[in-house]
Amino acid sequence: KYLMVNMGVMATITQSIDAETGVRVAEAFGRQVRRGREEDEGEGEDGEEELSVLTEGYGWEEEDAASLLPRAPVVTIMGHVDHGKTSLLDAVRESSVATGEAGGITQHIGAYQVTHADRTITFIDTPGHAAFSEMRARGANVTDLVVLVVAADEGVKEQTIDSIRCAKQAHVPILLAVNKVDKPGADPSRVTQELMKYDVLLEEYGGDVLSAEVSAKKRLNLDGLLEKILLQAEILDLKANPNRSAVGAVVESRMEKGLGPVTTVLVQKGTLRVGDCIVAGAAYGKVRSLTDERGKRLETAGPSVPAVLSGWDGVPAAGDTLIVVESEMQARNVAEARRRLERERSGSATMGSMQAQVLSIFGTDGVKQRQEVTVVIKADVQGSAEAIATAVSAIHVEDDRAEVGVKVLSSGVGDVTQNDVALAGVSQATILAFNVAADMNAQEEARKTGVEIEYHTVIYDILDKLEAKVQEILSPTP
């Protein structure tokens, strides 16, 4: 993300970048960099330099290209309500159950895999852009491609547009599924025309968006859709290193009788094994069992594989990153440290600073005091960042003793980075993230320092919240 936003380089986690770029990114995140093969520099002029970025075990270090192997694409279905997202997910799943291995009742676990032409596709089972944005806001970018479902009889609607925006913002390619082609009023060509306005340009019009016309209800052309997904996956050249400790994303969590907290985890890299010591959010544990959606026991789960996992001491949240650590003790230490920080943040940190601000308003000299709420703004586009900065700067309340306003410490474009958090930390500012996420290092830094990151998708919500906050500082509710 840093690469894309700050340096204009398009790369996903699993792609290789050149050494220079790597060093700059690492340094931007305050990391040290050790170059491999320093001693024999000059020998291989055009030889690739091995780069090892010394991270702190979050699995974000650059992978050696030779260790990367192809993995299944992870697909999220989005689109307007009632356009057939759920029907399509069900139809695809059922058609694969019919042809694939029979037996066992399939459970809804939050993600499932189908096999088509000997290749596997992973579907995230919670359709819609809300879940997608929520996961992303927590740092989990699991989706490789978005299937945008548009009903052929209704065309582009509000949530269609939202979905397009979400996918574009996340730099995830869109594949169009024109659904309900069985209906009398179906007009697929109208759909493709309408989509042009939103910069979704199909192949046949010179764009790069693949599409399929389907009917989820009548099971028409589902194979065609799967083929297009596999084609898009091939273009994306998705790879991961299966031979390392696992890093994954929590897709769903629930309590289950006899097993305690149970989560569905989508492995992103490495291989998860029974017996691994794990941490996600403030929960930790040791993998007691791994099962697939049919309840079949698994010994291991590799990249792009969703697995139901038990063995937790607490309940991690959807979107939390799962990592594997060396020992149960280490897992517990990490989780406990995070819990402590959460307690501090929700307890003394917020209340304490609020009280301190209130106290400082009322000076003893009878002169009107001025108090400021400081914010750092990060937004998806420059226009939004500026609009928010202008709007929040105008917030101001006062009475005969004091006045309270909002101070914008900085405003910029792109995901929240560690630098933003550090900046906010120094001035006890709140970070307002508008249609952007916080990267992993930023989240970690925020946890450590207690800096609050607020995620918003509506400017009015930001204003409402800030207005309430300054009002509360001026005249606290008893």
Residues that bind ligand GDP (CB under 6 A): 79, 81-87, 127, 179-180, 182-183, 215-217
Residue 370's SS3 state is: strand
Q: What are phi and psi of 339, to 5 degrees?
A: -60, -40
Cβ-based nearer residue to ligand GDP, 87 or 268: 87
Residue entry with tokens 């939050």? 110
Q: Which of 93, 91, 17, 102 is nearest to 61 (CA)?
A: 17
Residue 133's SS3 state is: helix
* Residue 166 beta carbon to ligand GDP: minimum distance, rounded to whole angstroms: 15
Cβ-based nearer residue to ligand GDP, 88 or 442: 88
* Residue 175 beta carbon to ligand GDP: minimum distance, rounded to whole angstroms: 16
* Residue 455 beta carbon to ligand GDP: minimum distance, rounded to whole angstroms: 24
* Residue 93 beta carbon to ligand GDP: minimum distance, rounded to whole angstroms: 13
Instruction: Give residue 390's identity as a one-letter amino acid code.
Output: T
CB atoms within 10 A of CB 132: 25
* Residue 171 beta carbon to ligand GDP: minimum distance, rounded to whole angstroms: 24
Rounded to 10 degrees, the C-alpha dihedral 300/303/305/309 comes to 50
* Residue 153 beta carbon to ligand GDP: minimum distance, rounded to whole angstroms: 8
Cβ-based nearer residue to ligand GDP, 65 or 81: 81
Residue entry with tokens 């913002």? 169
Instruction: Give residue 343's identity as a one-letter amino acid code.
Output: R
Q: Which of 143, 146, 148 is nearest to 13 (CA)?
A: 143
Q: Cα 217 from chain centroid?
A: 31
Structure tokens at 51: 């780069």
CA–CA separation, 115 and 108 (whole Å): 17
Q: What does R_g of the chain's alpha carbons equal in angstroms?
A: 24
Structure tokens at 149: 């479902």
* Residue 85 beta carbon to ligand GDP: minimum distance, rounded to whole angstroms: 3
* Residue 180 beta carbon to ligand GDP: minimum distance, rounded to whole angstroms: 4
Cβ-based nearer residue to ligand GDP, 81 or 394: 81
Residue entry with tokens 């929040």? 392
Query: What is the pairing mode between strands 430-434 and 369-379?
Result: parallel
Cβ-based nearer residue to ligand GDP, 185 or 366: 185
Cβ-based nearer residue to ligand GDP, 252 or 444: 252
* Residue 208 beta carbon to ligand GDP: minimum distance, rounded to whole angstroms: 25
Length, in residues, of the chain:
478
Structure tokens at 456: 């918003």
* Residue 245 beta carbon to ligand GDP: minimum distance, rounded to whole angstroms: 37
CA–CA separation, 370 and 238 (whole Å): 54
Cβ-based nearer residue to ligand GDP, 186 or 309: 186
CB atoms within 10 A of CB 110: 22
Residue 74's SS3 state is: strand
Q: Cα 215 from chain centroid?
A: 30
Cβ-based nearer residue to ligand GDP, 112 or 434: 112
Residue-wise DSSP of 5-50: HHH-----TTS---HHHHHHHHHHTT--EEETT-TTTTTSTTSPPP
Cβ-based nearer residue to ligand GDP, 50 or 82: 82
